[in-house]
Structure 1
Amino acid sequence: MEELVSLRGVTRTVLLPDDQELHILRGVDLTVHSGDHTAVVGRSGCGKSTLLNLLGLLDTPTGGELRFQGTPVEQIRGNARARLRGSSVGFVFQQFNLLPGRSALDNVITPLLYAGPSHFWKRRELAMDMLDRVGLAGRAETFPNMLSGGEQQRVAIARALVRGPRLILADEPTGALDVDTGQAVMALLDTVATESGAALVTITHDVNVAALARASYRLDSGVLTSTEVPLGVSA
C-alpha cells in the first residue's frame, strides 16, 4: 500500500501570552497508507484537532518530520499546498458546515468550483453521482434545514469525497448524531472510502466509533500510542 502521510517525532508547540510554551503534540509517530481506516481517540484538549490540522496540511509541525505522499511539507509552500489539500484531502466535520442557503446539490458542487477543467465542467454530473452514492439523489434540491442530521452529514460526506481525495479526515463525524444514525454514517464513510481506495482517519472522543477502525490510537496530553480500544468502554 502507498504511504500517504507519515509523521516522525512530530511536535507542535505554541507560545502563550506570558511567554510560556504550550506543548500540544509531543513526539508523535504515525503512518497512514492508502486504504487504511485509522482512528485517533482522546479527550477534549488532548491535541486531536492539532493533529488533524497537520494531517490535512492546514498547519506545520514545530519539530520532527511530516511527509505528504513522500514530500516533506516544508517543501510544499503557499498555493501548491492549498492545491494539494483541495485535491487530495477531504474533511468531514461534526457540525456538517453546510451552506444554509444552498441545496444539497449546490453544497456538493462547491469544491468542484475550484477544481481543474476536467472536474469543473462535469461538476453537476459528479455531484449528482456522489449524492446517489450516499443515498440522497432524491434530495438533491433540498435545503439543509429540511434535512435530518443524518442526511446533512451524508451531504457533508458527499461534498468531502466529490473530488476523489486520497485522504479523508473525519473530525468527530458522529458527535451531533444519535447512536444509530452515527453508526450508519460511519459504515457509509468506511464503505465509500474502501470503494475509492482512500485512507480514512477518524478523530473522535468516542471509543465506540474508534472501535470500527482497523487501527486505533489514543492521544493523551499530546502523546500518541497505539491501542486496542474495546467496544463500549468510555474514554
Structure 2
Amino acid sequence: MRHRTGPPAASDGAPLVSLRGVTRTVRILDAEDLHVLRGIDLDIHRGDRVAIVGRSGSGKSTLLNLLGLLDVPTEGGLFFEGADARRLGADERARLRGSAVGFVFQQFNLLPGRTALDNVMTPLLYAGGRQFWRREKLAAAMLERVGLGSRLRELPQKLSGGEQQRVAIARALVRGPRLILADEPTGALDLDTGAAVMDLLDDVARETGAALVTITHDVSVAARSQDLYRLDAGVLSRQVVPA
C-alpha cells in the first residue's frame, strides 16, 4: 500500500500531529538494520485522549519521541500543526517542542537540589516575554492547580511519590502545551495515587483543550482513552477501548 507523505487535507479536520507512513530504522554496523517502526499512520487532534499499549521493545518510546519532536522519521511524513518536522532544523524543532509539548515520565526526573517551585519554573527559563518575567507566579499557580500550593519550597526528597509526580505534571503543563505526552505516568505509583494522577491529567487536558497521549501497561489507564492503539513489532493497530 502506498502511504500519503504530504500533510492531511483541510477536510481531515486539521490534526495537531499527523504521521503518514512513518518508519524509524536504526543502522547497525555489520548487522541487519533494526526496523523499530513500520509504516505508522496516525492523526491526533486537539482534545483527543489516546492510549498506546505494547510490550517492552515494541517501539513505544520511539513513537513518543517522534510525536514530541525529539526525533524525525527515517521515512514518511511527520507534521506538527501542518509543519513538516523533517524540514525543520534541530533548533526549530526544539523551539516548537518547548512551546507546544509537555512530557510526563514514569521516572519523575526532578532536579534533586531544587524546590518544587524551582523545578516547575525550569521550562519557563526558555520562554519569552511575559511567560519568562512572570515565571515564578505562573509556576506557583500551576502547583496550586495540582494541589501543592503549600509545598512550593519543599525539595523533591521531602515529597511522596504521588506529590513528586504532581510536580512533574505541573512542570510539563506550565507553558500551556497543546500536546501532553505521558510515558507510563502511573507506573511508579500505587493504585489510588495513580488514579488521582490520571484524574488530574484528564482534567487539565480537558480544561485547556490539549491532546493527551499516554503510553501504558495499565488496563485501567487505557480504558480512560477515547482511542486505543497497540504497537507490536513496530506496527500500530487500532483496538477496542475496554469497557
TM-score, normalisation: structure 2: 0.93
Moved more, 11-20 or 41-50: 11-20
1:142 aligns with 2:166: no
Q: Is 2:77–2:86's contact at 8 Å kept on the other side of the alignment?
A: no
Could you tell me which residue of structure 2 aligns to residue 24 of structure 1?
Answer: 36
Residue identity opposite 1:79 in structure 2: D
1:2 CA displacement = 4.5
| Percent of aligned positions that are identical | 69
Aligned mate of 1:107, from 119, 132, 137? 119
One-letter code of the match for 2:116? A
Q: What is the one-letter code of the residue matched to 1:120?
A: F
Is 1:175 the counterpart of 2:187? The answer is yes
- Report how many residues are paired: 231
Instruction: List aligned pairs for 1:1-235, cutoff 5 A.
Output: 2-230=14-242
Q: CA deviation at 1:187?
A: 0.9
Deviation at 1:212, TM superposition (A): 1.0
CA distance in 2, matches of 1:229, 1:181: 23
RMSD: 1.0
Conservation of the 8 A alpha-carbon contact between 2:40 and 2:236: yes
Unaligned runs of 5+ in 2: 1-12
Which residue identity is paired with 2:148? L
Q: Secondary structure at the match of 2:236?
A: strand
For the residues of structure 2 that align with 1:203 and 1:17, how far apart are their CA atoms? 30
1:9-65 superposed Cα distances (whole Å, 9 cap, x missing partner) = 111111123231111111111110001110101111100000000000000101111
Conserved? CA contact 1:207–1:229, under 8 Å: no
**Paired letter, 2:124:** L
Q: C-alpha displacement at 1:121, in angstroms? A: 0.4
Counterparts of 2:209 and 2:120 in 1: how far apart (Å)? Answer: 20
CA distance in 1: counterparts of 2:37 and 2:223, whole angstroms: 23
The TM-score with structure 1 as length reference comes to 0.96
Q: CA–CA distance in 2 between the matches of 1:91 and 1:126?
A: 18
Distance change in 2, residues 1:207/1:17 (3 Å) = farther
> Partners in 2 of 1:78 and 1:219 — Cα distance?
27
Paired letter, 1:27: G
